[in-house]
Amino acid sequence: LHAVTRKVGDEVHCSYTFTARHEGAPGIAHGGAVAALVDDVCGGLLFVVREPAVTRTLNVEYLRPVLVGVTYDLVARVDRREGRKLFVTCEGTDPEGRPTFRGGGLFLVVDLSHFDAATRGDDEAPVAL
C-alpha cells in the first residue's frame, strides 16, 4: 500500500488516500484494502516497542463507507502488553474528524529466527503461538 507512517510519542500516525486501484464498489475502497492498511499501520508500532512481531489476529470494524479519493488520518497504539502479546488498536477518521473505521488485534513478539525459518520453508519453522 506504500503507507507512510510516523512515530509520534507512543503512537503511530498515518494519512492515507485510497485510489481507484483500491476500489471494491464504485467509489468505495475494498474492505480488504482497508484491513491491509490497518495491519500496516499497526505494524508501525514495532518501531515503538523496538522488537520484531507478527500479526496473530486482526479485526476491522467499518463504521461508514471508506471513500476513494478522500484522505483518512489513522492513529495506532499499543493498548497493553502481556509478555509476548501486544494488544493494538487503530482508528481511521475522515477529514471532518469522524471515525470511519477502526481495528486492531494481537501481535506476537518473535525472535528474528522466525523470519529466517519461514523464508526457507523449514518444516520446523517457529510457530507464532
Sign of the Cα torsion 93, 99, 103, 107 reads positive
Phi, psi of 80, rounded to the nearest 5 degrees: -165, 165
Query: The C-alpha cell of 62 is what?
Result: 467499518
What order of strands is seen across the sheet that includes strand 53-62? 5-8, 11-17, 71-82, 85-93, 99-109, 53-62
Catalytic choice (39, 73, 94, 116) = 39
Q: Go through the chain and tell me how many residues it has.
A: 129
94 included as an active-site residue: no
Amino acid at 106: L
**Whole-number Å distance between alpha carbons of 48 and 78:** 9
**Residues classed as catalytic:** 39
